[in-house]
């Protein structure tokens, strides 16, 4: 029988901590949340390797290093409301639920959302609200948000997503720029989001966040 608890410890000690993830709440969440429950059953053996886990339809569970570093940079507080976009089967939302007051978990595929809802209930993440809808629309009716996080890459960030972020709030996502993926952290001040480079990472582009191609005759 696979000892997933031991694998979680190894994941944190060999993938997460060495990448300068230092905040105790993030490390504690990654040690406690059962990552293997949030991937397809046939991929559970691959849940703790240092790679994205493919969910199909160009969707992934972000690798532990990327997810841990993004959470560390965001420094989510226990009185904050978080919008988690493209949650897949819910792993990221389970982590965030341990850091925040509440999470709105946005997913566009009803089957994945139903599975996420079941697993999140199983692990006791009762401060997560699941919302089914287009990823690029966000979930304005539950906002505005202190923090927004995207579980995939973007080529273009729609203005309406940034409008759902509170002034003083933070946003983290992977920008696909040429051949490189770059994680940037945005801070909203006086209605404008200022982005700064954090680290390199890679993920498929989320639906609705593709670059608009110029129309030519």
Domain residue spans of the chain: 4-200
CA distance 43 to 54: 9
In this structure, the dihedral spanned by the alpha carbons of residues 93, 177, 189 and 144, taken in order and rounded to 10 degrees, is: -30
CATH superfamily of 4-200: Vaccinia Virus protein VP39 (3.40.50.150)
Structure confidence at residue 213 (pLDDT): 65
Per-residue pLDDT of the chain (217 residues; tens, 9 = 90+): 689 999 999 999 999 999 999 999 999 999 999 999 999 999 999 999 999 999 999 999 999 999 999 999 999 999 999 999 999 999 999 999 999 999 999 999 999 999 999 999 999 999 999 999 999 999 999 999 999 999 999 999 999 999 999 999 999 999 998 677 999 999 999 999 999 999 999 999 999 999 876 544 4
Structure confidence at residue 42 (pLDDT): 94
DSSP letters along 106-171, please?
EES-HHHHHHHHHHHHHTT-TTEEEEES-GGG--GGG--EEEEEEEEEESS--HHHHHTEEEEEEE
Structure confidence at residue 177 (pLDDT): 83
Structure confidence at residue 214 (pLDDT): 54
């Amino acid at each position: 029988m696979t000892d997933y608890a031991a694998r979680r410890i190894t994941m944190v000690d060999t993938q997460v901590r060495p990448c300068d993830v230092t905040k105790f709440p993030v490390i504690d969440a990654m040690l406690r949340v059962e990552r293997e429950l949030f991937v397809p059953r046939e991929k559970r053996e691959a849940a703790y390797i240092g790679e994205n886990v493919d969910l199909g339809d160009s969707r992934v569970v972000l690798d532990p290093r990327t997810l841990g570093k993004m959470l560390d940079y965001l420094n989510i507080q226990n009185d904050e409301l978080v919008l988690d976009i493209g949650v897949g089967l819910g792993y990221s939302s389970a982590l965030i639920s341990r850091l925040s007051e509440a999470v709105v978990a946005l997913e566009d595929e009803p089957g994945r959302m139903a599975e996420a809802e079941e697993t999140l209930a199983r692990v006791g993440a009762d401060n997560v609200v699941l919302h089914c809808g287009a990823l690029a629309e966000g979930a304005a009716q539950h906002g505005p948000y202190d923090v927004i996080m995207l579980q995939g890459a973007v080529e273009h960030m729609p203005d309406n997503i940034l409008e759902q972020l509170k002034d003083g709030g933070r946003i983290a996502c992977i920008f696909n720029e040429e051949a490189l993926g770059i994680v940037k952290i945005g801070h909203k001040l006086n209605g404008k989001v200022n982005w700064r480079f954090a680290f390199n990472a890679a993920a498929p582009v989320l639906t609705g966040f593709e670059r608009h191609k110029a129309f030519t005759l």
